Chains A and B, each alone.
Chain A
Amino acid sequence: MEPMPARAVPDADDEERVPLFGTWRAIYVAVLVTEVVMILGVALFQGVRW
C-alpha cells in the first residue's frame, strides 16, 4: 500500500461551511471558550456560599 502522508492535507471537506459557527476554526474556539467558562462556572458553584 502507498504510505500515508504524515499530515492531513486540507480538502473540500475543510472548506465545508459549519452550521451556526461558519468555520471550523470558529467552532474549535467556541469549544475551548466553553471549556474555560464551564471550569470557571464549576469553580464559582463550588466557591459561592450557598
Chain B
Amino acid sequence: MTPLDWGVLVVYLVGIVAFGVWSGRGNTKIDDFFLAGREMRWWAVGLSVMATQISAITFVGTTGQAYTDGMRFLVVYFGLPVAMVILCVTLVPFFYRAGVFTAYQYLEQRFDSRTRTLTSLLFQLSRGLAVGVTLYAPSLVLSVILGWSEQATILLMGGSTIAYVMYGGNKSVIWTDVVQMAIIWFGIFLCFGVAIAQLPEGLGFDGALALAQAQGRLDTLDTSTSLSQPYTLWGGLIGGLFLMLSYFGCDQSQVQRYLAGATLGQSRLSLLFNAFLKVPMQFLILLTGVLVFVFYHFERPPMIWNEVDQARLEAQAPPDRLRAVQERFDAAHAAREAAALEYARGREAGASPEAYRAAEKDLLAARGEAVALLQEVKGDTGRYNDTNYIFPKYIVSQLPRGFAGLVIAVIFAAAMSTLAGEFNSLATATMVDFYKRFVRPDGGDRHELLVSRLMTVGWGGFACLIALEAGRLGSAIEVVNKFGSYFYGSILGVFALAVLTKRATAAGAFWGLFVGMASVALVSQLTTIHFLWYNVVGAVAVFVSGLLISALRRG
C-alpha cells in the first residue's frame, strides 16, 4: 500500500464516522432511534437492506471461492427474487400495519408473549454470537494484508461502527449504508474493470472466459437432484428461497431496515429493488473472482495466499525442501501459462483443452505440496484454507496506486454496514422485547433513548469481545456459525403459521418451534444433507407440527 492508498483509507474511515454522526442527529425518542422516524424513502432503505446483507466475507470470500471453485455459489441467490415477492405479499404488510419495532413483537399480537420472547431470545443469541464472527473474519484478513495486529483491526472496525450507530441509531445505519453501498458498487465495477484491463494482450475477455470455462469455473447450474450436493440449481431455488425468506422476513437485522420505510409501499419497493439487483451484483462479484483466476495464469501467484503463513513457511521450513517445493511450483505455473496460451490461441481451430487441464491439475498438486510443508511446519493436521486471502492479496499487490486503498475501504465498508445493522437490531430486540416489557415499561423518551444507546454500545462491545477471543475459540466459531442454521427455518415456520392459517394456536406455534429445531438438529447430525436444505426442513416441520398440535389442543 502506498501513502496515497493509506490516505484514501483514512479519509473513508474518518468520513464515514463523521457522516454517520451527522446524518443521525435529531433523535428524541426510540421511534427515531430504532425506526428512523418511519420516514425513509425506498431507495435508501433498499440500499441499506443490500449493504446489511453483503458482509466483508461475502465480498472477499465469494471472489476467493470463484477463484478456486467457480461460480456455483451464485445459485444461493436464485431464491431471493421470489422470496422478496412472497414477503411483500405476506409478512411485510402485517409488520407494517401492526406498527411494530421488531418482527417478534408481531408474534405476541398473533399468538402469545412466550412465543415472542422465545423467538426474540433465539435471534439475540444467534445474531449476538454471529456478529462477533462478522467482525472477526474480515479483521483477520485485513490484519494480515495491512500488517496490523488483529486486535487493532477489530477495535478500529468495531469501535468506529459503534460510535455512529450509538449516536444516530437506524438513521445513521441507513444513510451510512447508502454511502457504503455506493462505495461497494464502485469498488466492484473498479475491480471488474481492472481485472479485464490486466489480462494479457491478445487474450481478450472472451479468451479469459474460454480459459475459465475449460477449467469449469463458469459452471453455475448443476441440475443434480442430490440433497447432499452443495449448490445445485434446486438447492438454490428451493433451499435458497427458504433461506432468503428466513433472513429477510424473520431476522430483525433486515426487518428493521424496511420497517423504517415512510409507507408500506416504500418498504415493499426497497425489497423489490434488491430482487432486481442482487443476482446481477453477485454474478459480477463472482465473475471478478474468475477473472482474477485467469489473471494469475500470467502473473505468478504466491504458493500460499496468507502472507503470515507464507513468511512462516520461508522462515521455518528446511531451506532445501522449501526450494524444491518452490521450484516445482514455479515450473508447474510456467507450464500452465504455456498450456493456457496454446489453448486460447488454438481454441477457435478446435484445440483440445486436455493439456491445459492437466497443467492446472499439476499446479494444484504443486501447491498441495507447499500446503503440506506449511502444515508440517505449523504442526497442524486440519484442512488448510486460505481462500479468503486471495482477493485482498490481489488488491494490494496488483491494483494501481490509490485504487488499492479504495478497495480496502470497500472491504471495511462491507463489514461496517453489516455490523451497524446488527448492533442496531440487537439493541432494538433487547430494548423492545425485554427491557420495556420486563424492566421498565414506561421510562420516558429521554430514559429510553439513553438505555437504547447503552444497549448499542453493549452489543457492540460484546461483538468486539467475541472477535478478540475468536482466535482462541477455534472450532467453537464453526459451532456458532452452524447454531443459527438450526432454528432459522424454524422461526420462518412460526411466521408461516401466523400469516398463512387461522387454525394455528399459540401452543401450536410455541411447541412447533421446538419440533422444528429438533428436526433440523437430527437432519444435520444423521444425514449428509447440505445446509441449504435445513431451512426447508425447519420451516416445514414447524408448520406441520404446529398445525397438528393446534388441532390436538383444540380437540
- Residues of chain A touching chain B, judged by Cβ–Cβ distance below 8 Å, are 1-4, 6-8, 11, 13-14, 16, 18-19, 24, 27-28, 31-32, 34-35, 38-39, 42-43, 45-46, 49-50
Contact = CB atoms under 8 A, between A and B. Distances in A.
Given A2-B109, A46-B219, 12 more contacts: A4-B109, A4-B110, A6-B500, A7-B499, A8-B97, A11-B97, A14-B264, A32-B82, A34-B81, A42-B221, A42-B283, A50-B207
A34 B213 CA distance: 25
A16 to B, nearest CB: 4
B311 interface: no
Identify which of A6, A18, A34, A49 gathers the most chain B CB atoms within 10 Å of its CB: A6
Query: What 5 pairs between A and B have smallest CB-CB spacing?
Result: A13-B264, A6-B502, A8-B93, A50-B209, A50-B210
Contacts of A14: 93, 264
Contacts of B109: 1-4
Interface residues on B, range: 35 or more
Contacts, number: 87
A19 B41 CA distance: 13
B106 interface: yes
B320 interface: no
7 contacts: A6-B110, A16-B265, A31-B82, A35-B78, A38-B279, A45-B218, A46-B218
Nearest to B85: A28
A7 B503 CA distance: 12
B206 interface: yes
B272 A46 contact: no
B126 interface: no
Contact of B94 (A4, A11, A18, A35): A4
Contacts of A31: 81-82, 84-85, 272, 275-276
B89 A28 contact: yes
A11 to B, nearest CB: 7
A2 B110 CA distance: 8
B220 interface: yes
A13 B81 contact: no
B84 A50 contact: no
A18 B265 contact: yes
Instruction: Give the secondary structure class of B's interface.
Output: helix
Contacts of B207: 50
Given A8-B90, A35-B81, A24 B268 contact: yes
A49 B264 CA distance: 46
A31 B87 CA distance: 13
Nearest to B211: A50
Given A11-B97, A32-B82, A42 B499 contact: no
B345 to A, nearest CB: 14
Interface of B: 74, 78, 81-82, 84-85, 88-90, 93-94, 96-98, 106, 108-110, 206-207, 209-210, 213, 218-221, 263-265, 268-269, 272, 275-276, 279-280, 283, 498-502
Contact of A27 (B74, B221, B272, B280): B272
Contacts of B499: 6-8
Contacts of A11: 97
A50 to B, nearest CB: 4
Contacts of A19: 269
A46 B84 contact: no
A37 to B, nearest CB: 10
Contact of B106 (A2, A4, A16, A49): A4
Contact of B74 (A3, A16, A32, A42): A42
Contacts of B276: 31, 34
Given A16-B265, A31-B272, A46 B221 contact: yes
Contacts of B500: 6
B265 A6 contact: no
A10 B84 CA distance: 18
B74 A50 contact: no
A32 B78 contact: no
A26 to B, nearest CB: 11
B220 A46 contact: yes
Contacts of A43: 221
A18 B88 CA distance: 13
Contacts of A6: 110, 498-502
B99 to A, nearest CB: 11
B94 A24 contact: no
